[in-house]
Structure 1
Amino acid sequence: MNTLNDAPAPARGPAEHDIRDQIVVAATEHFSRYGYTRTTVSDLAKAIGFSKAYIYKFFESKQAIGEMICTNCLRGIETEIRAAVDSADGPPEKLRRLFKTAVTASLRLFSDERKLYEIAASAATEKWQATLDYEVRIKGLLQDILLAGRQSGDFERKTPLDETATAIYLVLRPYLNPLLLQHNFDHTDEAPAHLSNLVLRSLSP
């Protein structure tokens, strides 16, 4: 889904350093228990058993740690979506699977991990690079499905591809963006089927 910079935030020290990974794992657990907004780097340092200065050798800020956690969460959702899409036969079914899996995976993260939701909400509000990159990759996946559907004759070809992909993404966005998802919990059961069917009807040649 387009070539992107995998580094979601500026970081200090070796990118693959074991200590860096250890900090991310420990921070994820700590934020899950106590929340992102209420935790300072000093709190995190005490919980992990490192000095604050040592953490700053690997991450320049709390947000940099949050971005790494956010990236890991979004990559988990994306992996689940891609697996569902790849297992489907034909572009129409791939689109249905994308809608269903995107909604259920996002809902599971943002409802089961309420403390981590704070990170996702901050990321969406402040437009962290991790969320912007995620949006680009989802749009790229939509374009791939649309292109395959046009080649197979399942989808119309008159509307510009990027315009169509953006429009479909906007239909999905209330169930991908954590700030919007919290207002759409009542519709998550039926939304994937209803919305994907509506989109598929609009794509009919």
Structure 2
Amino acid sequence: MTVKTRPTPEETRERILVVAEEHFRRVGYAKTAVADIAGALGMSPANVYRFFPTKSAICEEIARRLLEVSTDQVRAIAAEKGKSAADRLGEMVLAIHRYNKNNFTEERRLHDMVENAIVESWGVVKGYIQGLTVIFAEVIREGMVAGEFVVRDPVEAAMLFKQTHVSVFHPTLIAHCADLDEIRDLEAQARGLTQFALRALKA
């Protein structure tokens, strides 16, 4: 006779996140209540609240995981050997754009969750943006050492580099630009912005 073991707190927490993300993708963030998540798990809302005090806390953890994937992609490109700093920055920009477009723009129901995160200024979103700036700064600093870039402050340059690409990073702006007749090819726009920013770094 097999004895069923009770799931550990970590396993229960993970199940809540998996089911919550599935609901957000299927019916949308706004239309999903904690009671819906609890019902799908066969538990009471009070039990869900033992692990996450609010629905926003669930959303923030899901957002953190999704953004962590993007950060890992960018960090891997930054660490590639044998490529110039300029080439790595260009690849990083496209990786961020494609990830945000595929996960937060074309996934329209997840887009609502991201909008909420940005409006509420969740710490996870701020951390993601700051993390990207740090990685950009590291690559720009390497470009300075290699003689590719002529700038005084790699951190300031990284912040400006990031800001130059807001229209191809921000999910809402990506969606808006995709609807404009004059900006149909967003990847071409991303490449153009990067070339513009690289010229400034090299000047």
C-alpha separation between the residues in 2 aligned to 1:180 and 1:111?
9
C-alpha separation between the residues in 2 aligned to 1:193 and 1:127?
28
1:201 is matched with which residue? Answer: 199
Stretch deviating more after TM superposition (92-101 or 173-182): 173-182
Instruction: Answer whether contact 1:124 1:178 (CA < 8 A) is retained.
Output: no
1:156 is matched with which residue? Answer: 150
Q: 2:42 aligns with which of 20, 35, 49?
A: 49
C-alpha separation between the residues in 2 aligned to 1:176 and 1:92?
18
TM-score scaled by length of structure 1: 0.86
* Aligned pairs (5 A) from 1:50-199: 50-87=43-80, 89-158=83-152, 160-185=153-178, 186-199=184-197
Deviation at 1:113, TM superposition (A): 1.9
TM-score scaled by length of structure 2: 0.87
Q: Mark the runs of 5 or more structure 2 residues left unpaired by the alignment.
A: 1-7, 179-183
Deviation at 1:48, TM superposition (A): 2.2
What is the DSSP-based 3-state SS (H/G/I as helix, E as strand, rest coil) of the residue aligned with 1:56?
helix
Q: How many residues align?
A: 190
What is the DSSP-based 3-state SS (H/G/I as helix, E as strand, rest coil) of the residue aligned with 2:124?
helix
C-alpha separation between the residues in 2 aligned to 1:73 and 1:85?
19
What is the DSSP-based 3-state SS (H/G/I as helix, E as strand, rest coil) of the residue aligned with 1:60?
coil
1:6 is matched with which residue? Answer: none
Deviation at 1:47, TM superposition (A): 2.0
CA RMSD of aligned residues (A): 1.7
Q: 1:21 aligns with which of 7, 14, 24?
A: 14
Opposite residue 59 of structure 1, the aligned amino acid is F
Instruction: Answer whether contact 1:149 1:155 (CA < 8 A) is retained.
Output: yes
C-alpha separation between the residues in 2 aligned to 1:161 and 1:84?
18
Deviation at 1:127, TM superposition (A): 0.7
Q: 1:16 to 1:170 in 2, by over 3 A?
A: farther
Opposite residue 77 of structure 1, the aligned amino acid is S
Opposite residue 193 of structure 1, the aligned amino acid is R
Q: 1:95 to 1:70 in 2, by over 3 A?
A: same
Instruction: Answer whether contact 1:30 1:47 (CA < 8 A) is retained.
Output: no
What is the DSSP-based 3-state SS (H/G/I as helix, E as strand, rest coil) of the residue aligned with 1:57?
helix
Higher relative contact order (CA 8 A, sep 6+): 1
Deviation at 1:169, TM superposition (A): 0.9
C-alpha separation between the residues in 2 aligned to 1:29 and 1:123?
18
Instruction: Answer whether contact 1:110 1:116 (CA < 8 A) is retained.
Output: yes
Deviation at 1:16, TM superposition (A): 6.9
Instruction: Answer whether contact 2:25 2:107 (CA < 8 A) is retained.
Output: yes
* Identity between Structure 1 and Structure 2 (%): 26
C-alpha separation between the residues in 2 aligned to 1:95 and 1:203?
11
Instruction: Answer whether contact 1:110 1:178 (CA < 8 A) is retained.
Output: yes
